[in-house]
């Protein structure tokens, strides 16, 4: 029996839907009994000649002074930052991130695994694409969506991205994913991406919309095995009072045997650590359970074959933040600055000429989306704003411009909106 065959039983027993939804690659991978496996067994031996990293022979790195001196960490933490991370991530980081994910959830929160560390959030998506994508697999995505989904799922694995309108009559559409899947044969496994707060939308659903979204997803799971990838890149960045900030993952885990939510999050936005590339992949199963262990073996194989191991340096820096006594306040301070920008931008956009552009609702994350009037090309608008108004925005086909208020001063936002409106007016006048 091969290693991967051994993983079938624990997965299929715990969740037949999950086994059904695995791609051919996802089914066949298993962490091989290779160097990291053998090295893990040799840990603590008097003579350990297993691992190909340069140490003093007592487990400490022989680092270059130029690199070591730039890390103001306690000696032991610094050593760990310079040596290889375990393929699944540094244990303390995984445990601390799990506590962070589950803070405030209460004792009856659903099960969740120890998060597996990835190289930033995108890598978590790429691992999920390997596990659940594959030739012809249906991936439902509310549109407009982050363009990289297309590369990660379709270009690389051959999956079919099915877009469906995230907005209807200018309001959030909780049925989008299920509308996208309506044409798929019943019984056929599918993947749905739920990215809330959203990119490019900057939207987090109200309590009522969230309920409608979850009901639609649970109904879809009656029709087919459904993996819901919760892309929680913008977790916590919710600015509207009364709108629930928690991940939709917690509303879906353990709710239906046909629905498997997977949580993909990271330090990138939530801890404002963009350059560090620390992401996490979490399954809705208890730590140490057979199914969690089997999935961990598969993810480790995929991580090892693409990046070797995740970034130890960034993990130790993130751990320092997670262990700070005032971590919640440090994170909240960044959120408050974004909240102010969100308010200022909302006010500035309130006055724009609706015949030219219409702001879509936004209350969260890093972005706002404006829809241009029919016949106006967003790419032409983007170039015109760059060339004539010293203003850079992102064009999203067929009719949107995205404003990243996360990287603009609050005081600059009114002028940015004025430039936007002026530029679009000029474009409209041209014909």
> Which lies closer to its own copies via its Cβ, residue 81 or residue 214?
81
191 contacts its own copies (rule: CB under 8 A) = no
Q: First and final CA of the chain: distance in angstroms?
A: 68
> Which lies closer to its own copies via its Cβ, residue 85 or residue 112?
85
- What residues form DSSP beta bridges with 400? 371, 396
Among positions 320, 340, 422, 425, the unique one binding its own copies when judged by CB under 8 A: 320
126 contacts its own copies (rule: CB under 8 A) = yes
Question: Rounded to the nearest whole angstrom, what is the least distance from the CB of residue 47 to its own copies in the complex?
Answer: 4
73 contacts its own copies (rule: CB under 8 A) = yes
Question: Rounded to the nearest whole angstrom, what is the least distance from the CB of residue 265 to its own copies in the complex?
Answer: 14
Other beta carbons less than 10 A from residue 277's beta carbon = 21
Question: Rounded to the nearest whole angstrom, what is the least distance from the CB of residue 313 to its own copies in the complex?
Answer: 5
Q: Residue 299 in 3-state DSSP?
A: helix
80 contacts its own copies (rule: CB under 8 A) = yes
Question: Rounded to the nearest whole angstrom, what is the least distance from the CB of residue 253 to its own copies in the complex?
Answer: 26
Among positions 206, 211, 289, 419, the unique one binding its own copies when judged by CB under 8 A: 419
Structure tokens at 252: 């879906």
Question: Rounded to the nearest whole angstrom, what is the least distance from the CB of residue 387 to its own copies in the complex?
Answer: 10
Distance CA(261)–CA(217), nearest Å, equals 10
Q: Which residues contact 423 (CB under 8 A, 6 or more apart)?
A: 381, 384, 385, 388, 389, 391
Select from 6-14, 115-123, 134-142, 188-196 the region that touches its own copies (CB under 8 A). 115-123
Whether residue 370 contacts residue 349, with contact meaning beta carbons closer than 8 Å, is answered with yes
Question: Rounded to the nearest whole angstrom, what is the least distance from the CB of residue 419 to its own copies in the complex?
Answer: 6
Q: Which residues contact 330 (CB under 8 A, 6 or more apart)?
A: 321, 324
359 contacts its own copies (rule: CB under 8 A) = no
Chain mean position to CA 338: 19
Q: Residue 119 in 3-state DSSP?
A: coil
Question: Rounded to the nearest whole angstrom, what is the least distance from the CB of residue 130 to its own copies in the complex?
Answer: 8
Distance CA(126)–CA(383), nearest Å, equals 31
Among positions 312, 349, 356, 357, the unique one binding its own copies when judged by CB under 8 A: 312
Distance CA(26)–CA(13), nearest Å, equals 17
> Which lies closer to its own copies via its Cβ, residue 327 or residue 373?
327
> Binding residues for its own copies, how many (CB under 8 A)?
116
305 contacts its own copies (rule: CB under 8 A) = yes
Among positions 128, 338, 349, 364, the unique one binding its own copies when judged by CB under 8 A: 338
CA angle 177, 10, 251 (to 5 degrees): 35
Distance CA(101)–CA(105), nearest Å, equals 9
> Which lies closer to its own copies via its Cβ, residue 230 or residue 338?
338
395 contacts its own copies (rule: CB under 8 A) = yes
Select from 104-112, 203-211, 254-262, 307-315 the region that touches its own copies (CB under 8 A). 307-315
Site string for its own copies, 150-179 (x = CB under 8 A): xxx--xx-----------------------
Whether residue 202 contacts residue 233, with contact meaning beta carbons closer than 8 Å, is answered with no
User: Is residue 320 classed exposed, middle or buried when 0-12, 13-18 and 19+ CB atoms within 10 A define those classes?
Assistant: middle
Pairing of β 190-194 and β 226-231:
parallel
- What residues form DSSP beta bridges with 403? 368
Among positions 5, 6, 13, 41, the unique one binding its own copies when judged by CB under 8 A: 41
> Which lies closer to its own copies via its Cβ, residue 252 or residue 301?
301
The per-residue b/e assignment along 143-159, b for 16 or more CB within 10 angstroms, e otherwise, is bbbbeebbebbbeebeb
Among positions 9, 12, 50, 287, the unique one binding its own copies when judged by CB under 8 A: 50
> Which lies closer to its own copies via its Cβ, residue 15 or residue 268?
268
Select from 49-57, 160-168, 188-196, 220-228 the region that touches its own copies (CB under 8 A). 49-57
Structure tokens at 193: 């991406």
Question: Rounded to the nearest whole angstrom, what is the least distance from the CB of residue 206 to its own copies in the complex?
Answer: 23
Among positions 100, 362, 367, 400, the unique one binding its own copies when judged by CB under 8 A: 367
């Amino acid at each position: 029996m091969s290693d991967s065959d051994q993983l079938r039983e624990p997965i299929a027993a715990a969740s037949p839907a999950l086994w059904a939804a695995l791609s051919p690659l996802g089914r066949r991978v298993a962490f091989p009994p290779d160097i990291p496996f053998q090295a893990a067994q040799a840990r603590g031996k008097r003579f350990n000649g297993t691992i190909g990293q340069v140490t003093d022979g007592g487990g400490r790195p022989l680092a270059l002074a130029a690199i070591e001196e730039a890390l103001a960490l306690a000696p032991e933490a610094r050593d760990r930052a310079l040596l290889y991370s375990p393929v699944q991530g540094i244990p303390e980081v995984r445990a601390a991130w799990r506590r962070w994910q589950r803070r405030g959830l209460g004792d009856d929160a659903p099960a969740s695994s120890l998060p597996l560390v990835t190289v930033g959030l995108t890598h978590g998506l790429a691992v999920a694409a390997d596990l659940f994508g594959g030739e012809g697999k249906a991936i439902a995505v509310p549109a407009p969506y982050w363009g990289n989904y297309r590369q990660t799922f379709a270009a690389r694995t051959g999956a079919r991205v099915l877009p469906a309108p995230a907005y209807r009559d200018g309001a959030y559409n909780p049925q989008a994913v299920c509308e996208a899947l309506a044409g798929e044969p019943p019984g056929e496994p599918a993947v749905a991406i739920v990215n809330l707060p959203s990119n490019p939308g900057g939207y987090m659903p109200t309590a009522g919309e969230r309920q409608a979204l979850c009901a639609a997803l649970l109904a879809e799971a009656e029709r087919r095995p459904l993996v819901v990838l919760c892309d929680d890149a913008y977790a916590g960045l919710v600015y509207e009072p009364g709108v629930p900030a928690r991940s939709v993952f917690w509303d879906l885990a353990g709710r239906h045997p046909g629905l498997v939510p997977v949580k993909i999050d990271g330090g990138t936005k939530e801890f404002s650590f963009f350059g560090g590339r620390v992401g996490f992949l979490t399954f809705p199963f208890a730590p140490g359970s057979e199914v969690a262990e089997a999935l961990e073996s598969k993810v480790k194989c995929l991580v090892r074959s693409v990046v070797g191991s995740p970034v130890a340096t960034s993990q130790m820096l993130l751990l320092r933040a997670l262990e700070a006594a005032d971590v919640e306040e440090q994170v909240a301070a960044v959120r408050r600055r974004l909240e102010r920008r969100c308010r200022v931008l909302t006010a500035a956009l309130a006055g724009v000429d609706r015949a030219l552009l219409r702001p879509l609702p936004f209350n969260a994350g890093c972005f706002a989306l404006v829809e241009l009037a029919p016949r106006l090309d967003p790419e032409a608008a983007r170039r015109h704003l760059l060339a004539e108004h010293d203003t850079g925005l992102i064009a999203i086909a067929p009719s949107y411009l995205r404003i990243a208020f996360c990287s603009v001063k609050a005081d600059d936002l009114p002028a940015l909106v004025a430039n936007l409106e002026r530029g679009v007016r000029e474009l409209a006048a041209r014909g």
